[in-house]
Amino acid sequence: MAPMRTLTVDIKDQPYPIHIGPGILDRADLIAPHLSQKRVAIVTNTTIAPLYLNRLKTTLAAAGIESIEIVLPDGEQHKNWQTLNQIFDQLIAQRCERKTTLIALGGGVIGDMTGFTAATYQRGVPYIQIPTTLLGQVDSAVGGKTAINHPQGKNMIGAFYQPKLVLADTETLNTLPQREFSAGMAEVIKYGLIRDLPFFEWLEVNIDKIMARSPEALVRVIYESCRNKAEVVAQDEREEGIRAILNFGHTFGHAIETATGYGKWLHGEAVAMGMVLALKVSGTLYQFPASDAVRVTRILDRAVLPIHPPELGADIYLDLMATDKKVEAGRIRLVLLRYLGRAEIQPVDREIIRTTFAQSPLQ
């Protein structure tokens, strides 16, 4: 069995640990020290509840911790005000207090909504992230970004609000459908591309082990991804500068998700396609080498990720990107690759993007 590994997100006012390894759902000793009272509200969904809810409740009960459960419908299409109000309704009905800790048990949607609930319920209550998807474990559960979607844009309504603790139990990935697992790999590959070339090269060598879900490989994948994100977040908690490099592929990806309807493309799938488009712009502005672009598309393909973005037309992409959070003074701020392992944030004129779309696709 792979040993547990721990790292710290070194936020100035509230550093918190991330524990990574198998069997963590059975470790009440990791949770109890972070609770203000022995009562928690577990927020999960209809897919995860049958798999892990009772196990977590049993773990907590053995430590004398009472838990209430809030089970939501599953899917990105439910990441909205209506579902958020279901959480508020049950917290109020159960008379949850400011010291009642919320626990997000699920993927990125559950983590984002639980975090936004925690940021706003009674003006702020503590919460813990227990992500059960690869995407959640390597990205969305770490860093304190919380949000819901709006019909005109993804994650447009939310707050920066840090968890008290993140628990990544690698055994939960054993029940993850292949498509969901691949979606998480988009974010993993992203870290290597934007700031960690040695990690990217390790991924190229070990991608088959990772896709076979080798326990040792998974612990390293999650640890290195979280380390990269934690280092960036510690420098720029509220995305006023360097943290924006974590959005590589996301501005195009969010446009794809919004245009096609939330849920049709998984977030990681849209990010993978967004990275392919960002590489095209990087080639235009930075002369990013075509041979390296091929390396990127090859590893995305080996991770069973789509590499051919939908042909929505330049106007649709540009209109949706213009309402994204990364717009500044009318110019679209894109994260581009100067070279493998080095990302830069660059305001880009719309006409450059339009010209890039007219070029032949990456092979």
pLDDT at 8 over 70: yes
Q: Is the dihedral of CA 87, 179, 277, 283 positive or negative?
A: positive
Both tokens assigned to 276 = 């392919």
Residue 129 has a pLDDT of 98
Q: 342-348 and 331-339 as β-strands: parallel, antiparallel, unpaired? A: antiparallel
Active-site entry in 190, 229, 280, 325: 229
Does the pLDDT of residue 330 top 70, yes or no?
Answer: no
Positive/negative CA dihedral, 239, 226, 280, 312: negative
pLDDT at 264 over 50: yes
18 close to 224: Cβ distance less than 8 angstroms? no
Residue tagged active-site, from 78, 79, 145, 280: 145
Residue with tokens 């944030």: 345
Contact 142, 231 (CB under 8 A): no
Residues 147, 157: contact at Cβ < 8 Å?
yes
Q: Is 267 a catalytic residue?
A: yes
Quick: pLDDT tens for 41-72: 999 999 999 999 999 999 999 999 999 999 99
On the question of pLDDT at 361 being above 70, the answer is no
How many Å apart are CA 363 and CA 194, to the nearest integer?
Answer: 21
Instruction: Give percent of the chain above pLDDT 90.
Output: 83
pLDDT of residue 34: 97
Residue 339 structure tokens: 């070279």
Domains in the chain: boundaries: 5-175, 178-357
Any idea which fold 5-175 has? Rossmann fold (3.40.50)
Residue 239 is a catalytic residue: yes
pTM, full prediction? 0.94
Q: Is residue 128 a contact partner of residue 100, using CB atoms and an 8 Å limit?
A: no
- Which residues of 161-261 form beta strands (DSSP E)? 165-169
The answer to whether residue 250 is catalytic is yes
**pLDDT for res 363:** 40
pLDDT at residue 19 above 50?
Answer: yes
Residue 18: predicted pLDDT: 98
Ranges 178-187, 227-236, 345-354: which has the least confidence: 345-354
| Segment 261-266 mean pLDDT | 89
Q: Please report which residue ranges of the chain form alpha helices under DSSP H.
A: 28-31, 54-62, 81-93, 108-120, 134-135, 178-195, 197-211, 215-235, 250-260, 267-286, 290-302, 314-322, 350-357
Which of 267, 280, 326, 333 is an active site residue? 267
First and final C-alpha spacing in the chain: 40
CATH number of 178-357: 1.20.1090.10
